[in-house]
Structure 1
């Protein structure tokens, strides 16, 4: 794993500040801008699906999205930023799609177990895209710190929301906070080849079991 931003590839970072954040959607003022931004994210995922993180180049994303490099860099300072925002969008879609399927599960820890199973299964089904998005998330801790924190918060909020099924309690937030940190660690291990999807699934379920037992005992 490279230890400095330059190690992520020649076009990993545009000639800007490493920690300059991307332009978020809520700052866009026209439908055309929002559509262009979405097209760039779609293009990044399409390119990633071909060969994972190493196959993603900023010029290829721009060509596929039918925008200039200057336009792409206006929205996203680097390919890491593009892929991390694509990951954020996938997490929000996952949150929206899964919530309706958990209404019959009353136990919050059983709900969380189901969330983890579905999440890791979805990641495994899109292996090359997952590899690219996970690699970008790990790289973001070096070159896109605002986006890295955004993903951690998004993951925590997703776990808390799907665990609660409604009003989020202190227990839901505390559990989600711990699980988000474990999930981040597992993503790193996955990128480094130290973890399989099956192992990731088992370790996340073990953490949820332990937290559930501690809460029941307390």
Structure 2
């Protein structure tokens, strides 16, 4: 069975090749959604052999997750550089989710890829946790706003997260509401303004005890 290449053990050229593959897949997703991210098409456009692609990403879902993870990295990096300034936990959490919504709506096909990956059983927990961690950190004031691009510095406080605590559970509930609202936007049943109003109410109620 093919083994996915581990980022931490890659050479510089391997890291660059992996990034090129992910960027190529993202570009295809922007134009045609997850369906357009066919492994053979990605390999051809990225200029790598199909076998090489499978060494980095054993399945299409692994590739989808990599694309979505890069989008989350960009979101988190932007929030670390320019943290929410609201005075309340619910205001800061709402800022995070609205930035994510607006960013995704600029590329609705990528938003569709995110939602699909979130609801897939084999990857849901990892990505849900990633988003909930960010909401919790911002809402509770645990975000490290160093201004540095060093990932270790920017996420140095992750070990402080109590994922069994009441506040974390409530942040997770708010994240679940956001995912549902994002689905409604993608289906054309909500606009972003309505989602903002609904998320505000949910954040106000769920995070009132923070």
- Same fold? TM cut 0.5: yes
In the alignment, the residues of structure 2 paired with residue 22 and residue 203 of structure 1 have an alpha-carbon distance, to the nearest angstrom, of: 40
Aligned twin of 2:129: 153
Identify which of structures 1 and 2 has the higher relative contact order when contacts are C-alpha pairs closer than 8 Å and 6+ apart. Answer: 1
In the alignment, the residues of structure 2 paired with residue 196 and residue 105 of structure 1 have an alpha-carbon distance, to the nearest angstrom, of: 23
Following TM superposition, by how much is the alpha carbon of 1:197 offset from its aligned partner in structure 2, in angstroms? Answer: 4.4
In the alignment, the residues of structure 1 paired with residue 83 and residue 19 of structure 2 have an alpha-carbon distance, to the nearest angstrom, of: 29
The 3 A distance-change label for structure 1 pair 81 and 201 is farther
Which runs of 5 or more residues in structure 2 are unaligned? Answer: 143-156
Aligned twin of 1:162: 138
Aligned twin of 2:206: 211
Report the RMSD for the aligned CA atoms in angstroms: 2.8
The 3 A distance-change label for structure 1 pair 202 and 52 is farther
In the alignment, the residues of structure 2 paired with residue 204 and residue 212 of structure 1 have an alpha-carbon distance, to the nearest angstrom, of: 11
Following TM superposition, by how much is the alpha carbon of 1:67 offset from its aligned partner in structure 2, in angstroms? Answer: 1.0
Q: 1:126 aligns with which of 76, 97, 107?
A: 107
Q: 1:35 aligns with which of 11, 16, 20?
A: 16
Following TM superposition, by how much is the alpha carbon of 1:180 offset from its aligned partner in structure 2, in angstroms? Answer: 2.9
Following TM superposition, by how much is the alpha carbon of 1:181 offset from its aligned partner in structure 2, in angstroms? Answer: 3.0
Aligned twin of 1:178: 173
- 1:51-86 per-residue CA deviation (whole Å, 9 max, x = no partner) reads 222222111111121111111111112222211221
Asked if structure 1 preserves the Cα contact closer than 8 Å seen for 2:117 and 2:124, the reply is no
**Are residue 95 (structure 1) and residue 45 (structure 2) matched?**
no
Asked if structure 1 preserves the Cα contact closer than 8 Å seen for 2:167 and 2:207, the reply is no
Aligned twin of 1:57: 38
**Are residue 135 (structure 1) and residue 116 (structure 2) matched?**
yes
What is the SS of the residue equivalent to 2:110? helix
Following TM superposition, by how much is the alpha carbon of 1:149 offset from its aligned partner in structure 2, in angstroms? Answer: 2.1
Asked if structure 2 preserves the Cα contact closer than 8 Å seen for 1:134 and 1:191, the reply is no
Following TM superposition, by how much is the alpha carbon of 1:150 offset from its aligned partner in structure 2, in angstroms? Answer: 1.6
Following TM superposition, by how much is the alpha carbon of 1:189 offset from its aligned partner in structure 2, in angstroms? Answer: 5.1
**Are residue 113 (structure 1) and residue 94 (structure 2) matched?**
yes
Aligned pairs, how many? 191
- 1:89-125 per-residue CA deviation (whole Å, 9 max, x = no partner) reads 2112211111332363332211111111111111111
Following TM superposition, by how much is the alpha carbon of 1:161 offset from its aligned partner in structure 2, in angstroms? Answer: 2.0
Asked if structure 2 preserves the Cα contact closer than 8 Å seen for 1:152 and 1:184, the reply is no
Following TM superposition, by how much is the alpha carbon of 1:134 offset from its aligned partner in structure 2, in angstroms? Answer: 2.4
Structural mapping, 1:75-94, within 5 Å: 75-94=56-75
What is the SS of the residue equivalent to 2:111? helix
Which runs of 5 or more residues in structure 1 are unaligned? Answer: 1-15
